[in-house]
Amino acid sequence: MVKKFRIGSPFDTEAVIEKIEISDTKDFPLGLSLGEKAVLKFNIEKDDMIFGLGEAVRGINKRGWIYESWCSDETNHTEDKRSLYGAHNFIVVSGKEKFGLFVDFPAKIEWDLCYSECDEVKITLDGKSADFYYIKGKNERGIVREFRRIIGKSYIPPFWAFGYQQSCWGYAKQEDFVNVRENHRNNNLPLDCIYMDIDYMERFKDFTVNRDLFPDFKAFVDDMKANNIHLIPIIDAGVKKEKGYSVYEEGHEKGFFCKNADGTDFECGVWPGIVGLPDFLNKDARRWFGSQYDALSDLGIDGFWNDMNEPAIFYSVDGLNKAMKKLDDIRGKDVDIWGFFGIKDALMGVQNSMDDYSNFYHNIDGKLVCHKDVHNLYGAFMTTAAGEYFEEKFGKEKKLIFSRASYIGAHRTSGIWFGDNFSWWSHILLNLKMLPSVNMCGFLYCGADLGGFNNNVTRDLLLRWLTLGVFTPLMRNHRALGTRAQEAYQFGDCKEFSDVLSVRYRLIPYIYSTFRRCSEEDDMMFRPLSFDYPDDKIAREVEDQLMLGDECMIAPIYEQNKNGRTVYLPEDMSFVKLSGENVKIEKLKKGIHYISVELNEVPLFIKNGKNIPLAKPALNTAELDTENLTYLL
Ligand code: MIG
């Protein structure tokens, strides 16, 4: 049962597609007050839990912190942060009373989840026009299903997008990509995709290919395809301001870039230098941008990742001038310690600044709307621009597309990845915790940078992380420029990597069919144990294991120098270790167990009475035999 309540005249975010009648706000069960800002306030019981908020730091149970919905280019995913790249405004409160709440509002929201007051939830909107959806159901999973029903079916990518994928910010030359392909193949390491980061472009211009690096790009793409490798180029939000660059000139002429208050184009600096920000909130601009992907699709490209679409702004021309002015004022004076901090702040404050977000505008049906009031839709609409265009032109399930920034609604046409994590052991766990939360919000095709983006990886970290990645729909190893090489063949003997990656391919039929079912039935692929065992006190608190589909539980090892870990079994299960073609099975009773797991083994738990299919290992999805399957048990 879903009830919809409205205050003011909300912006159409396109998140909910089901028509629902609006109920009288007098009947809204959560305390609502309208001052300067709309505030929801209600108390929960001491042991109640709060789930949701999609892509965010901290636990699966979100109680005890302040989160903010504000899509942010945040490269440091530490516990002190309040926002990451997505704005996923859906929570489920689970106690004696169980309900879901979706706050459909595209500007900033502060979620004080029992942080300021122990048992009080206080949700503050930066505005007074919004739709609230209050959802009842018989249990947490049912509430999520109800919510997912009204926001529409989740995106399904092409089958090959379930293969293993290699990425690195720094691959530039044709040879780099060929080496990645050959090194995988020669070492018996499966692979389906290689990513192209910003270096493939001509001076970071969207939809261009650097001809010095790729003299015949189409032939190159074809050659990769003939080897069963898909190349996946990145697309950044900002469009380089350059004379003669047709995307910029056309966008400028048609008025498709975001504007300053005086009607001129808002300009800011990102990788290409000065760029125009396409006005994805304008329907015509959106459609126009979507059609630009043709430039690469025409050359045989069938997948893309959209980046920098929070939007990330290194500096605005205006902001940089102001900072320079501050520095000029200080120059020549005696700088004391506070003066020094003044200099530092003046420079640091230039990037992704609220001043900038408050200072440019969208043209929505002829009306100028301040960016800050619709900020959280920007990246989502960039990605639906592409996703909708692809579905119309090529049909469903033909193109791979996923985004860094997102809002609920974008889940219908694309996936997401979790952005710039670190090569830290704790980020394996963060990766795991985000999975059920984003599933609640509709995002099924998702994953983190395996091995970690920032910082230097170690061999054991990558291996252990891959044993979680084996289960995530997007299984991509990606790293930042200048960090330690982290392809599976960079660590001497590749056998252990080959063992783990082979398990992925053996499991693809299961993972793919589970994924499809979850999309079709509005279900979660990954669930906290508490959703399945609500009356089990221990299960309710487990934050380092997940239920997968209706058959399995996963529990990766996420600490260094450990030969295993402790797991909690909420019922009797078969403990399975998969490695290459090997399978070891042990029956375990409900309760706490210490399990030993070698670096080349993928641990998995199967519920009694359940079973899952296995394929033979393959070097890519095209060569995967999905007909002749055996059963694990
Ligand atoms: O400012 O394109 O999250 O995956 O490698 C960094 C370079 C821009 C951020 C993305 C990351 C990508 C990187 N990008």
pLDDT one-digit tens code per residue, 318-334 = 999 999 998 888 888 88
The fraction of the chain above a pLDDT of 70, given in percent, is 100
Q: Looking at residue 579, what is its pLDDT? A: 98
CA dist., res. 563 & res. 463, Å (int): 13
Question: Would you say residue 309 has pLDDT above 90?
Answer: yes
Mean pLDDT across 472-480? 99
Q: What is the pLDDT of residues 91-103, one digit of tens each?
A: 999 998 999 999 9
Percentage of residues in the chain having pLDDT higher than 90: 96
0.75 cut: is pTM over it? yes
Ligand 1 atom at minimal distance to the Cα of residue 449: 4
Q: How far is the CA of 307 from the centre of ligand 1 (A)?
A: 7
Mean pLDDT of 353-370: 96
For the chain, the straight-line distance linking the first and the last C-alpha, in angstroms and rounded, comes to: 39
Tell me how far apart the alpha carbons of residues 411 and 419 are, in angstroms, rounded to a whole number: 16
Q: Which residue has the tokens 């992704």?
A: 352
Give yes or no for a cis peptide into 190 (omega within 30° of 0): no
| Ligand 1 pocket residue status of 444, Cβ below 6 Å | no
335 pLDDT more than 90 = no
Position 461, amino acid: L
The enclosing H or E element of 574 equals: strand 573-579
C-alpha–C-alpha distance, residues 353 and 448, integer Å: 26
Nearest ligand 1 atom, CA 75:
3
588's tokens: 């375990």
CA 149 – CA 143 distance, rounded (Å): 10
Q: Sign of the CA dihedral 433, 434, 440, 443?
A: negative
In a 10 Å sphere around its CB, with 0-12 CB exposed, 13-18 middle and 19+ buried, how is residue 192 labelled? buried
**Pocket lining: 197 vs ligand 1, CB cutoff 6 Å:** yes
The CA-atom distances, in angstroms, between 453 and each of 24, 110, 308, 427, 445 are 48, 28, 15, 10, 19
Mean pLDDT (the chain, rounded): 97
Instruction: Give residue 332's pLDDT.
Output: 83
In 3-state terms, what secondary structure has residue 173? coil
How many residues does the structure list for the chain? Answer: 633
Res 599: pLDDT:
98
Confidence grade of residue 185 (pLDDT, cut at 50, 70, 90): very high
Report residue 357 as tokens. 């977000």
Arithmetic mean of pLDDT, 539-553? 98
419 lines ligand 1 (CB under 6 A): yes
Average pLDDT value for residue range 128-142: 96
Once rounded to an integer, what is the mean pLDDT over residues 298-320? 97
pLDDT of residue 118: 95
Does 522 have pLDDT greater than 90?
yes
CA-167 nearest atom, ligand 1: 5
Contact 88, 437 (CB under 8 A): yes
Alpha carbon of residue 590 to chain centroid: 34
Q: Which atom of ligand 1 is nearest to the CA of 236?
A: 2
In this predicted structure, what is the pLDDT of residue 184?
Answer: 98
Whether pLDDT at 46 is above 90: yes
The mean pLDDT of 424-443, rounded to a whole number, is 98
Confidence label for 380 from pLDDT (cuts 50, 70 and 90): very high
Closest CA to 620 of 163, 294, 236: 163
Query: Is residue 374 a contact partner of residue 349, using CB atoms and an 8 Å limit?
Result: no
Between residues 339 and 422, the one the model is more confident about: 422
Under DSSP, is residue 340 helix (H, G, I), strand (E, B) or coil? helix
- Written as one letter, the residue type at 87 is A
What is each CA distance from 496 to 73, 460, 463, 482, 534, in whole angstroms?
Answer: 35, 10, 8, 25, 38
**In whole angstroms, how far apart are CA 529 and each of 55, 538, 553, 594?**
19, 9, 9, 18
Backbone dihedral region for residue 572 (phi beyond 0: left; psi -120 to 50: alpha; all else: beta): beta
DSSP 155: P
How many angstroms separate the CA atoms of 588 and 207, rounded? 54
Is the shortest distance between the CB of 420 and ligand 1 below 6 Å? yes
Predicted confidence band at 73 (pLDDT cuts at 50, 70, 90)?
very high
Which residue, judged by its Cα, is nearest atom 6 of ligand 1? 308
Strand residue runs (E) in 217-272: 230-236, 239-240, 267-270
Task: Check if the beta carbon of residue 192 is closer than 8 Å to that of residue 624.
Answer: no
